[in-house]
Amino acid sequence: MTIKLRRSRVLVGLYLWTGLGLMLTCRAGGQQAPSTPADPAKPAAAPGPTNNVRPAIKWKRFDYTCENGAKITVYVHNATAKVRTHDKIYLMRQTPSADGNRFSDGKVLWWGKGDGGFLQEDTADGDGKMLVKGCVLDKPTDAPKP
């Protein structure tokens, strides 16, 4: 008799817990927010950002033609420059200069002044080997004339 009594108590307890779980599930489902806005006069809030991707950096591009037909492209953003030659790309930071724009990565420097510039090895005395010289800014063919 005790085994039957235990079984019936276990079954009753099981039924009670199952019923309680179903009741809580139904109650929680009934409290969901309505799918239509309560106040139609208010516009819905715009969704927030969906990822952490930063917007692309806007680089200014300058194309140069140098001695012996060499081409150099310089991209500038704030105090950073990317200098691209036919076979290398240098990422440089702006450094102090008495005249013009000077960018260096500690090994190579780009010095631009007006519509000209040159690429040189960066040395402490400033007399590093010229890598590319006589660079002149290419003017777009549709540039407005002064």
The pTM assigned to this predicted structure is 0.58
Residue recorded with tokens 């549709």: 142
Residue 115 is classified by DSSP as T
Give the Cα separation of 81 and 76 in Å (integer).
4
Q: Residue 4: enclosing H or E segment and its boundaries?
A: helix 2-30
Instruction: Look at residue 57 in the predicted model and tell me its pLDDT.
Output: 83
Which position has the higher pLDDT, 100 or 85? 85
Q: What is the mean pLDDT of residues 11-28?
A: 61
Q: Where are the domains of the chain?
A: 60-137
CATH architecture designation of domain 60-137 = Beta Barrel (2.40)
Residue 8 has pLDDT above 70, yes or no: no
Tokens representing residue 86 in the block: 């036919």
Q: Side-chain half-sphere of 85: how many Cα atoms within 13 Å? A: 17
pLDDT in tens, 26-41: 565 555 555 555 555 6
Beta bridge partners of 74: 62, 83
DSSP assignment of 47-93 equals P--SS-PPPPP--EEEEEE-GGG-EEEEEEETTEEEEE-SS-EEEEE
Instruction: Look at residue 132 in the predicted model and tell me its pLDDT.
Output: 93
Instruction: Look at residue 31 in the predicted model and tell me its pLDDT.
Output: 55
CA 142 to chain centroid, in Å, comes to: 32
- The SS3 call for residue 123 is coil
